[in-house]
Amino acid sequence: MKKKWIQYASILIVCVFVGLAIALLMKNLNLINVGDTSIQELQNQIIDYQKKNEDLNNRNTRLYEYLRELEEELASGRGESYLHIVEEKEQYALFAGLRAVKNAGVVITMTPLEGYQMQDAVVRQFVNELSALGAQAIAVNEERKVATTEIRTSQDMILVNGVSYDRTEPFEIKAIIDPGKIDSYVVPYLLSISDNIKKQLADDSLTIAIRKDENVLIPALNEDRIAYQMELLEPVE
C-alpha cells in the first residue's frame, strides 16, 4: 500500500514538473517571438509609417478627386477640367521653382571682411538649415534653388546653378518660410548657427546679418539654367 502511495506521489511530482517545464518553455518562446527590437524603436517605426500613410493618403484623395473631375468633364464636354489641368501645371511649376514667388521669410546677408573669401560650405550650411526648417523657396544671390542646384567653390568664385559669384562679395540668401515660426524659432535658430560658424572661422572673416522680411521676393529659375536640360532623363510613360 505504502509502495503504491510512493508511486502516486512520484507521478504527481513528475507531472507537476512537466507542467512547470511546459509553462516556462512557452514563456521563453514568447520572448523569442517578440524579437530584439525595443518598444521605443517599434513605436518610432509606427509613427514613421503613420506619417507616410497620411501623406500618401492625402495625395491619393486629391488625385482621386482630380480624376473624377476629369472623367466628368470628358463625359460632358469641356470647360472646368481644362482649368484643373492648368491648376496642376501651375502647382508643379511652383514646386519646381519655375515661378517667382513672394511671402514672409528671412534674409541672411554674409559679408566677407577684408582678405577673406567666402566658403561654399558656409553658404551650403545655411541653405541646408533653411531647407530643414521647411523653407518652401530659397534663393542665393537671386539664383533660385531648385532640385539640381549645386553650390561649390571654383577658385575665386562660388558657383550656384552654374553662375559664378565672387567670393569676396556679399552673399545674400532669401527664403520663404512659415511666418508663424520666424520670430519664435527660425531667426533664433539661424542666429545660433551663425554664432557657431563665426566661432569656427577667425573673428575677422565675415559678418552675418539675419533678419525677418514680410515681403521676400524669390525669382523664378532662369530658363537657360542646367536644370532645364533633361536630355539624360526619360519620363516613364
Partner 1 sequence: MTSKLTHKRILAMILVIIIGFSGGIFIKTMLRVGEGEDVDITAIRQANEALLEEKERYDALQAQNADLEDRKRILLRRFEDYEDTGGILAELRENAWLSGMTDVEGKGIVLTLDDKLDYDPLVDPIESVIHDSTVNYVVNLLWSGGARAVSFNGVRLTSVSEISCVGPVILCYGIRQMPPYVLEAIGPVDAMRDVLEKDSYLAHLTQSKIGIRFSVNTEEQMLLPSFSRTHDILPYINLLREP
Q: Which residues contact 9 (CB under 8 A, 6 or more apart)?
A: none
Walk across the sheet containing 151-154 and list its strands: 151-154, 157-160, 163-166
Taking alpha carbons only, the member of 157, 178, 159, 179 closest to residue 168 is 157
d(CA 55, CA 102): 25
DSSP conformation letters of 124-145: HHHHHHHHHTT-SEEEETTEE-
Indicate the DSSP class of residue 147: T
Residues of span 65-94 touching partner 1 by CB under 8 A: 66-67, 70-71, 74, 78, 81-82, 85-86, 88-89, 91-94
Q: Give 94 or 157: the residue with its C-beta nearer to partner 1.
A: 94
Compute CA distances 35 → 27, 210, 237, whole Å: 13, 49, 43
10 binds partner 1 (CB under 8 A): no
Q: How far is the CB of 73 from partner 1 (least distance, A)?
A: 9
Q: Give 56 or 191: the residue with its C-beta nearer to partner 1.
A: 56
d(CA 163, CA 169): 14
Q: How far is the CB of 198 from partner 1 (least distance, A)?
A: 18
Q: How far is the CB of 24 from partner 1 (least distance, A)?
A: 6
Q: Give 15 or 113: the residue with its C-beta nearer to partner 1.
A: 15
Q: Please classify residue 85 by burial: count the beta carbons closer than 10 Å to its beta carbon, then call 0-12 exposed, 13-18 middle and 19+ buried.
A: middle
Residues of span 48-67 touching partner 1 by CB under 8 A: 48-53, 55-60, 62-64, 66-67
C-alpha cell read off for 230: 533633361
Residues of span 190-209 touching partner 1 by CB under 8 A: none
| x/- letters, 151..180, toward partner 1 (CB under 8 A) | xx-----------------------xxxx-
Q: Give 51 or 211: the residue with its C-beta nearer to partner 1.
A: 51
1, 4, 5, 147: residue in contact with partner 1 (rule CB under 8 A): 147
Q: How far is the CB of 25 from partner 1 (least distance, A)?
A: 9
Query: How many residues contact partner 1, by CB under 8 A?
Result: 98
Residue 107's CB is within 10 A of a number of other CB atoms, namely 15
Residues of span 16-45 touching partner 1 by CB under 8 A: 16-24, 27, 30-31, 33-35, 37, 39, 42-45
Q: Give 114 or 234: the residue with its C-beta nearer to partner 1.
A: 234
